């Protein structure tokens, strides 16, 4: 209900010790006339402030899904996300969901994604499952890094700019990714609003911050130098080299090489860790043959070195991709820990 402006003004004058015969100067920054101006009638004053008065809409909104929302267009390609909204009366925190797929495939509507988005929606959180460009989307020998993570930065900026439209709390946006999506989460968490990685062509011309308030990463790469020199690594001739622009068949990130000092460092989330980074929740298995557990430990150490809050969960015996197997008690337990963590930070 809109407050009665006349009553509020009268009450303010009484608090200020003014009487009916005392004039009060108008604040130079305000368009509201002095109450001592006899030419301004109460009804006219009500009409003048009517459009600027703040209404807090708390009418209930039902859970809904908005599909294929475009947050960035590159050439003829529209990059989209699916927005899962819960029942809500006040703005709700939102989790950006980032799929895996070795940087070569994956989709916002994969069953691994919908398992999580459905769960978050049912728990009263909004979820924005997003796509980003993978190999097939790049032509003329373009390198996916840093273009792909910048796609997701547009998703963050765009949904933040649209927060009031969907009754989302734009001050509490998190990212959650696994595997390749886990790399994205790590990188987004440590490069929020980093000038070198700020896109300028997000949909609708939005320029809102792409900084997030928390990061959840499942078994994501964090340091390419450490990864490609890890003895636990099974094979190195894979899509990750293509992602950062290294030739297939090459030996990547050799210590003290140009690659090691250049792209392998530049593309590593650990390279940007500083005290301004948001809290992290890192989950990894000690039996992951694709992204060794040392990557989770390395990310944890880099963040703790700059005094960033880290919650670290290391599970035993699970293989790569365990994060959405909600029939497994260990996976479900970590999922519930993630929910509690998100609720504690929203």
- Please give the chain's pLDDT, 346 residues, in tens: 434 433 433 333 333 443 333 333 333 333 333 333 333 343 433 433 333 333 467 899 999 999 999 999 999 999 999 999 999 999 999 999 999 999 999 999 999 999 999 999 999 999 999 999 999 899 888 899 999 999 999 999 999 999 999 999 999 999 999 999 999 999 999 999 999 999 999 999 999 999 999 999 999 999 999 999 998 886 555 789 999 999 888 888 999 999 999 999 999 999 999 999 999 999 999 999 999 999 999 999 999 999 999 999 999 999 999 999 999 999 999 999 999 999 999 9
SS3 168: strand
**Per DSSP, which regions of 136-178 are E strands?**
168-178
| DSSP single-letter state for residue 38 | T
Q: How many CB atoms lie within 10 A of CB 56?
A: 5
CA distance 108 to 162: 20
Taking CA 12 as the corner, what is the angle to CA 10 and CA 16, rounded to the nearest 5 degrees? Answer: 115
Nearest in space to 299 (alpha carbons), one of 196, 190, 150: 190
**Rounded to 5 degrees, what are φ and ψ at 11?**
-65, -40
Domain ranges of the chain: 5-50, 64-345
Question: DSSP character for 35?
Answer: T
The predicted structure's pLDDT at residue 56:
61
Other CB atoms within a 10 A radius of the CB of residue 58 amount to 10
CATH topology of domain 64-345: Rossmann fold (3.40.50)
């Amino acid at each position: 209900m809109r407050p009665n402006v006349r009553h509020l003004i009268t009450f303010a004058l009484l608090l200020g010790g003014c009487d009916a015969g005392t004039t009060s100067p108008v604040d130079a920054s305000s368009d509201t006339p002095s109450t001592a101006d006899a030419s301004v009638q109460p009804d006219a004053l009500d009409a003048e402030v009517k459009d600027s008065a703040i209404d807090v809409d708390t009418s209930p909104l039902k859970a809904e899904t908005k599909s294929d929302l475009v947050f960035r267009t590159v050439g003829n390609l529209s990059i989209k996300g699916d927005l899962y909204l819960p029942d809500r009366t006040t703005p709700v925190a939102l989790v950006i969901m980032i799929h895996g797929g070795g940087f070569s495939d994956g989709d916002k509507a994969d069953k691994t994604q919908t398992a999580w988005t459905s769960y978050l929606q049912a728990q009263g959180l909004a979820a924005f499952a997003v796509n980003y460009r993978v190999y097939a989307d790049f032509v003329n020998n373009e390198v996916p890094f840093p273009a792909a993570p910048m796609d997701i930065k547009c998703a963050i900026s765009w949904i933040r700019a649209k927060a009031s439209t969907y009754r989302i709390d734009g001050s509490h946006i998190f990212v959650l990714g696994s595997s390749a999506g886990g790399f994205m989460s790590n990188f987004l968490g440590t490069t929020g609003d980093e000038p070198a990685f700020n896109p300028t062509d997000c949909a609708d011309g939005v320029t809102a911050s792409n900084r997030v308030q928390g990061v959840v990463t499942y078994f994501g790469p964090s340091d390419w130098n450490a990864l490609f020199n890890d003895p636990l690594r099974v094979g190195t001739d894979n899509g990750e080299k293509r992602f950062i622009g290294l030739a297939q068949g090459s030996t990547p990130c050799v210590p003290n090489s140009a690659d090691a000092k250049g792209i392998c460092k530049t593309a590593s989330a650990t390279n940007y860790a500083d005290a301004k980074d948001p809290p992290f929740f890192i989950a990894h298995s000690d039996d992951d043959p694709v992204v060794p557990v040392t990557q989770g430990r390395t990310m944890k150490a880099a963040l703790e070195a700059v005094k960033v809050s880290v919650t670290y969960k290391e599970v035993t015996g699970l293989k790569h991709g365990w994060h959405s197997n909600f029939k497994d008690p260990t996976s479900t337990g970590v999922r519930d820990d993630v929910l509690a963590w998100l609720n504690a930070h929203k």
